[in-house]
A and B are shown apart, each in its own frame.
Chain A
Amino acid sequence: MKKRHLFILLLALTAAGVFSGYTYTFNRMVRDRFQGRLWELPAQVYARPMEIYPGMVLYPGRFEKELALMGYRKETGRETPDTPGTYLRKGDQFTLFCRPFDFGDEKRSQRLTKILIKGNKVVRVKSSGRERNTERLDPVLVGMFYPSSMEDRRLITLDQTPDLLKKTIVAVEDRNFYTHYGIDPKSIFRAMAVNLKNRRLSQGASTLTQQLAKNFFLTPEKTLGRKINEAFMAAALEFQFSKEEILEAYLNEVYLGQDGKRAIHGFGLASDFYFGKPIHRLLPHETALLVGMLKGPSAFNPRRYPERAKTRRNTVLAMMAEQGLISPSLLETSRAATLGVIKKPALALSPFPYYLDLVKKRLLTTYREEDLRTMGLRIFTPLDPQVQLGAEQGLTEFLQGGSRRLEAGIVVTSRASNEIQALIGGKDFRYMGFNRAVDAIRPIGSLAKPAVFLTALMQPEKYTPVTPLSDAAITYKNPDDGSLWKPGNFDNRFHGTVPLYRALVRSYNASTVRLGLSLGLDAVSRTFGRLGHTPPSPALPSHLLGSFSMSPVQVAQVYHTLASGGFHTPARAIRTVYTPGGIRLQQYPLTIEQRFDPGPVFLLNKILQAAVTQGTGKSLKRWDTRNLGIAGKTGTTNDLRDSWFAGFSGNRLAVVWLGRDDNRPAGLTGATGALQVFGRIMAKLPNTRLNLAPPETVEWGIIDPGTGDLTGRDCGNGIAVPFIKGSKPAETTPCPQKQKVKSATEVKNRPRYLGDWLKELFK
């Protein structure tokens, strides 16, 4: 064979090899990429579905805010709403046209629901004409995990898509769509000719398949090499998928504009974004506008360039008429119509980015980040927008007029289930910066003290709430380096001998340290660990005063074990995870473990209630107008750098941290800072009274608050204090008064026993 022929043969073989290699690669890429799905679907994260029932507290203004977040549109000037996703308000009567929704455990269809609120309480709920004891509304969409390019989707299927839209797309973008094999040679030659004439690559000849390929994998470029890649990709797509599947992918994939950082992909989302309606309600001129934008969504952005967009729309309308898709008369009316584009929807990314951040962090421990971003999971959380909005309002009010450098980390959970209802990671609620509620690890100061006192109360043979403790000055010598530590009290005084409960109520340092050293540092550390957070090791004396650091969420976990009476329940930010098809992938139900006997925890909680009524927390009174019996602890660190409060009511627990990001002094104590925020927040939320249930291992004694001694019940100034059974001091101090004065309460005293009753009768 001649050398020349050999050379040509080799060249041909090489070309064939390259060609097959390319084909194989792209086919493989397409198959792998789209295993089971044609596009990346972000995971959707939902807040808790609102449970509405007669008797519940509901503030109409805040309810309306949640309706807005749910995407419900307010209507006026009619008797009943006529579209799902709309509502009317007449005074405090709401009429909702509820959207259909799949809650995971139940599917509800669309229905009319009437809710009547009186005095901030729901009095009546009616759905589909029937009175209801309880009704569930579709939840707020908190956010979505986007693929790395921040894309968003609203999935539509071919059968949901109006014929006119499908046909218009084909007519305008790819007339030979149904007959070509991915690339359309006629169009290519035409385009090449035009490009050669203009000496640049301006005319596209891309089929829908090529556009799809371009959108999926590759960065925007306009080179010849790119065109070749696209061609191979398109061919691979045509090989693997039917025309219908390709068209459906195109409908969901194609780029149609930008909303800040979020890209608008797909006609479903575009229809929503530009016209505020689903695709099946698009009018012909609206269809024309969207299809017209395919050529250049930025260039033909109807909000920025309305004239240009209108011209383009009318060009498309002409093409539609030319193809017989619309009648001449419809063409006329459509051309005359205004653009009809709505003002941009208020909802940008997530309204609650900090909560979203927590959910994602928690999910990452179970799923890979890739799966999270691509599988289209439906994630239901316990986020309660009513609580979240109330908490935000409370913080905002406190910060008004204050230092601009002050920041906050706040978490609110349910006392019963420890589900996280609200999370504030910073004072700028809508912008996800540093999530202080989860990631700000700060020294907790006096918040650590309850663990010391709980350890003591767990030894009733040695310590009761009235055991005298010495609050004299104390010097601790470090055995390792001989250095001396002299913890002072906040008021720079020492208080002599005080009953145990007072040392905690007034948050005295000296007596706490003495107590902690007697109990043993390891014992206190173990208690803290059982409460839900292991302090650093080795245990140091300064840990007794909270010299170690925690985040607000970690503090909430510890205080929840106290609030629940000694039971540990892990805090949750996720309830259930479903696939887009409705299969339950993962559930996170309530789990519980009894870690402490209820007796000592009850004693401690009573003392924490006293800390609020008489101790460092007493300025809470200003906000606690309903006398909720809140139990809690203030915390302040050195130089007033951190201001903490952790407390709970009958149904809610909240932890507030205030401080500066640069760790400079914030100038606030726990009482002047965090407690005030806590108070404002609780005043804005429906709370129930904290009625601590005395366990059967408890008995009561009456003590004289002045001396801390046990007295008889007739003294008239005593307070009832609980003790573990058998640990009540035997000795009583007689009443200070010589004569017994019958108080008004004694006269009203109803005797409990027949004997007493008779005595009263015959006195």
Chain B
Amino acid sequence: MKHPALILLLLFFLASCAPKQVSTVPRSHLPPENIPQIGTGSPGAAPPAQKPVRLAALETLIKKAKTQLDRNRPEAAFTTLERALSVDGQDPEIWHLMARVRFLQGRYSQALSLAKKSNTLAWNRPELKEKNSQLIDEARKGLERDE
């Protein structure tokens, strides 16, 4: 090893080529890659690193629901969100917004369940999970107040 500094530099350079860890997301519940899974027979799919690309229709409907919510029309927002569900029923943001609508209407029990449902679908969305957790806490407090 004639030039240790050079080698170190080389190592650092090569290390930067290694795939990045998404450190904010716990991964132990994810299936091992490249091993066939029970049920599907195919290897576990790693969750997408970024938010999947949404259909424009979905963006339009979600935007509309948010506007209706801002204009204090919660029931109209909920109807729009149900329309969005028929486009993609597994999008966690739709369920999160539904939870927010119910929370604003004081329907805490529904808000709680809807936020939990959103969490089960928020694969790789720590910011959304955080919002859901906050909503769940607030909804629980709301329920206690109501009792």
Contacts and interface: CB of A to CB of B under 8 A. Distances in A.
Interface of A: 48, 51, 53-56, 105, 133-134, 414-417, 465, 501, 564-565, 567, 575-576, 587, 589-594, 598, 605-610, 612-613, 627, 629, 631, 650-651, 688, 691, 693-700, 702, 713, 718-722, 725, 745, 748-754, 757, 761
Contact of B37 (A51, A133, A719, A761): A719
B116 A594 contact: yes
Given A609-B40, A691-B45, A721-B38, A697 B29 contact: yes
B39 A594 contact: no
Interface string B17-28: 011010000101
A650 B45 CA distance: 15
A606 B29 CA distance: 14
Contacts of B30: 694, 700
Contacts of A696: 26, 29
Contacts of A414: 85-86, 89
Nearest to A609: B39
A696 B55 CA distance: 28
Given A51-B86, A54-B55, A465 B38 contact: yes
Nearest to B15: A754
26 contacts: A51-B83, A55-B56, A56-B55, A56-B87, A105-B76, A105-B79, A134-B87, A416-B85, A416-B86, A417-B82, A565-B117, A587-B79, A590-B98, A606-B38, A606-B39, A609-B39, A629-B39, A651-B89, A693-B121, A697-B29, A699-B28, A700-B30, A718-B35, A720-B35, A750-B19, A757-B18
B65 to A, nearest CB: 12
Contact of B82 (A589, A694, A719, A761): A589
B34 A745 contact: yes
A726 to B, nearest CB: 12
Contacts of A754: 15, 18
A501 B18 CA distance: 38
B135 interface: no
Interface string B54-93: 0111011100000000000001101100110111011000
A753 B57 CA distance: 39
Contacts of B21: 752-753
Given A54-B57, A133-B56, A590-B98, A720 B19 contact: no
B120 A693 contact: yes
Given A417-B85, A567-B116, A609-B38, 6 more contacts: A51-B87, A134-B57, A575-B82, A576-B79, A650-B90, A725-B29
Contacts of B31: 694, 700, 720, 722
Contacts of A694: 29-31
A598 B57 contact: no
A474 B70 CA distance: 63
A695 B120 contact: yes
A573 B102 CA distance: 22
Contact of B117 (A53, A567, A608): A567
Contacts of B87: 51, 53, 56, 134
Contacts of A56: 55, 57, 87
B113 A567 contact: yes
Contacts of A565: 117, 120
A56 to B, nearest CB: 8
A629 B57 contact: no
Interface string B107-127: 001100110110011010000
B14 interface: yes
Nearest to B91: A416
Q: Which 4 A-B pairs have the closest CB atoms?
A: A416-B89, A609-B39, A53-B57, A134-B57
Nearest to B123: A693
A694 B38 CA distance: 13
B32 interface: yes
Given A589-B79, A590-B98, A610 B29 contact: no
B106 interface: no
A720 B32 contact: yes
B132 to A, nearest CB: 13
A397 B32 CA distance: 41
Contact of A501 (B33, B38, B40, B82): B38
A608 B40 CA distance: 10
The residue in B28, B57, B98 that gathers the most chain A C-beta atoms within 10 A of its C-beta is B57
B142 interface: no
A631 B75 CA distance: 34
Nearest to B47: A693
A56 B83 CA distance: 14
Contact of B113 (A55, A594, A697, A718): A594
B81 to A, nearest CB: 9
A725 to B, nearest CB: 8
B41 interface: yes
B4 to A, nearest CB: 16
A304 B67 CA distance: 58
Contacts of B34: 745, 748-749
Given A598-B120, A629-B39, A593 B113 contact: yes
A396 to B, nearest CB: 26
Contacts of B42: 627
B89 A610 contact: no
A589 B78 contact: yes
Nearest to A131: B56
A592 B114 contact: yes
Contact of A700 (B32, B39, B85): B32
B110 to A, nearest CB: 6
A718 B18 CA distance: 27
A53 B35 contact: no
A635 B129 CA distance: 38
B135 to A, nearest CB: 14
B8 to A, nearest CB: 13
Nearest to B36: A719
A55 B35 contact: no
A622 B44 CA distance: 23
Nearest to B75: A587
A131 to B, nearest CB: 10
A699 B37 contact: no
A696 B119 CA distance: 10
A544 B21 CA distance: 47
Contact of A720 (B38, B82, B121): B38
Nearest to A690: B40
B41 to A, nearest CB: 5
A438 to B, nearest CB: 23
Contacts of A54: 55-57
Nearest to B63: A133
A693 B125 CA distance: 13
Contacts of A691: 45, 90
B145 to A, nearest CB: 20
Nearest to B117: A567
Contacts of A55: 55-57
Given A414-B89, A587-B75, A718-B35, A613 B121 contact: no
A693 B47 CA distance: 9
Given A608-B39, A719-B37, A133 B90 contact: no
Contacts of A757: 15, 18
B99 to A, nearest CB: 10
Which of A133, A565, A607, A688 has the most C-beta atoms of chain B within 10 angstroms of its own C-beta? A133
Contacts of B55: 53-56
B71 to A, nearest CB: 14
A593 B109 CA distance: 8
A415 B56 contact: no
A749 B35 CA distance: 11
B32 A702 contact: yes
B29 A698 contact: yes
Contacts of B78: 589
B12 to A, nearest CB: 11
Contact of A606 (B15, B37, B45, B110): B37
B93 to A, nearest CB: 13
B89 A133 contact: no
